[in-house]
Structure 1
Amino acid sequence: MTTTTTATTTVEGKCGEGYGKCPSGQCCSKYGWCGKTDDYCFISKGCKSEFGECHGNNNESSTTPDKPNSTISDTTATTTTVEGKCGEGYGKCPSGQCCSKYGWCGKTEDHCAISKGCKSEFGECHDNNNESSTTPDKPNSITSDTTATTTSVEGKCGEGYGKCPSGQCCSKYGWCGKTEDHCAISKGCKSEFGECHENTTTTEKTTTENQESTIVKGKCGKGYGNCPAGECCSKYGWCGKSYDHCAVINDCQSEYGICSEEKLSIEGRCGEGFGKCPSGQCCSKYGWCGNSKEYCSLSYGCKSEFGKCD
Structure 2
Amino acid sequence: MTRTKLKSFQQMEDRKNEAKANDSVLVEFILLGFANLPNHQGFLFVIFLVIYMSILVGNGLIMVITKMDPNLQTPMYFFLSHFSFLEICYTSVTLPRMLSNLLTQKRNISFLSCAIQLCFFLILGGTECFLLAVMAYDRYVAICMPLNYPVIMNSKTCVQLVVGSWISAIPVQIAETYQIFSLHFCGSNKLNHFFCDAPPLLKLACGDISINELYSYAGAILFAIPFLLILVSYIKIITTIQKLPSAMGRQKAFSTCSSHLMVVGLFFGSGMISYFLPKSKKSSGIDKILSLIYSTVTPVFNPLIYSLRNKDVIVALKKFILKLS
- The interval holding the TM-score normalised by the smaller chain is under 0.3
Which structure would you say has the larger Rg?
1
* Structure with higher helix content: 2
Q: Name the structure, 1 or 2, with higher relative contact order (CA <8 Å, separation 6+).
A: 2
TM score, norm. by length of structure 1: 0.23
